[in-house]
Chains A and B, each alone.
Chain A
Amino acid sequence: MSPPQQPTSINPNSLKIQLAYRFLHNLNNLNTKRSNLDNTRIRRSHRVKLAAYASMAYVVGSRRAWSRAILWKIRNRAVLARFKRVDHKITTPLRHHHVHAGSVKRRTPSCSNPKREYSDPFGNSGQEVKLRKLVPGSSTMDALGLLDETADYIKCLATQVEVMKNLVDLYSII
Chain B
Amino acid sequence: MNTEMQHCPYTVMNIPGNTAVTSGTDVSVFERQQARMKWQQQQQQQESLFKGNDHQFRGLVEVKPDPGLQYGWPDFSDGCQGQGIPSLMEDHNLKKRKTHEDQKQKVVLKENSVKEKKIKGCSEENSAETSSKEKPKAVEGPKQEYIHVRARRGQATDSHSLAERVRREKISERMKYLQDLVPGCNKITGKAGMLDEIINYVQSLQKQVEFLSMKLATLQPRLDFDIDSLIMKEMFEVPAVAYSAEVANSAYFQVNSLLEMGNNPIDAMLRRSIGGPVSIPETFVVSSCFNQMQPGVTWDGDLHNLYRMEIQQDSSTIPFQPHKFTGLYEVSNLKMEL
Residues of chain A touching chain B, judged by Cβ–Cβ distance below 8 Å, are: 1, 3-4, 13, 16-17, 20-21, 24, 27-28, 31-32, 39, 41, 44-49, 51-53, 112-113, 115, 121-124, 127-128, 130-131, 134-135, 141, 143-145, 147-155, 157-158, 160-168, 170-174
Which listed residue, B71, B201, B254, touches A173 by the CB 8 Å rule? B254
A48 touches B286 (CB 8 A): no
Which listed residue, B177, B217, B220, touches A151 by the CB 8 Å rule? B177
- Give min CB distance, A74 to chain B, whole Å: 14
B174 touches A39 (CB 8 A): no
Q: Evaluate whether A171 and B66 lie within 8 angstroms (CB atoms) in the complex, with A131-B202, A143-B171, A161-B205 already known.
A: no
- B178 located at the interface, meaning its Cβ lies under 8 Å from any Cβ of chain A in the complex: yes
Residue in chain B with minimal CB distance to A116? B167
Interface bits B187-217 vs A (CB < 8 Å: 1, else 0): 0000110011011011101101110111111
- Give min CB distance, A51 to chain B, whole Å: 8
B195 touches A45 (CB 8 A): no
* Complex interface: chain B residues within 8 A of A149 (CB): 68
- The stretch of B40-48, B132-140, B259-267 that contacts the partner chain: B259-267
Residues of chain B touching chain A, judged by Cβ–Cβ distance below 8 Å, are: 63-64, 66-68, 70-71, 78, 160, 167, 170-171, 174-175, 177-178, 181-182, 191-192, 195-196, 198-199, 201-203, 205-206, 208-210, 212-223, 226, 247, 250-251, 254-255, 263-267, 279-280, 282-284, 286-287, 289-290, 324-327, 338
Residue in chain A with minimal CB distance to B69? A148
B216 touches A124 (CB 8 A): no
B216 touches A32 (CB 8 A): no
* Complex interface: chain B residues within 8 A of A1 (CB): 283-284, 338
* Complex interface: chain A residues within 8 A of B68 (CB): 141, 144-145, 148-149
A157 touches B198 (CB 8 A): no
Residue in chain A with minimal CB distance to B63? A113
A-B contact pairs, 12 of them (CB 8 A): A1-B283, A32-B263, A41-B214, A53-B209, A122-B171, A134-B199, A145-B68, A154-B205, A157-B206, A161-B205, A162-B290, A174-B251
* Complex interface: chain A residues within 8 A of B289 (CB): 20, 166-167, 170
* Complex interface: chain B residues within 8 A of A31 (CB): 220, 263
Beyond A3-B282, A167-B289, A173-B325, 19 additional contacts (C-beta under 8 Å) are: A20-B289, A20-B290, A21-B283, A24-B286, A44-B221, A45-B210, A49-B209, A51-B213, A122-B191, A122-B192, A127-B196, A131-B198, A144-B167, A145-B68, A147-B175, A157-B205, A158-B205, A160-B209, A164-B216
- Give min CB distance, A68 to chain B, whole Å: 13
* Complex interface: chain B residues within 8 A of A44 (CB): 217, 220-221
| Bound-complex Cα distance A89 to B167 (A) | 36
| Bound-complex Cα distance A46 to B220 (A) | 14
B78 touches A4 (CB 8 A): no
* Complex interface: chain B residues within 8 A of A155 (CB): 181
- Give min CB distance, B293 to chain A, whole Å: 10
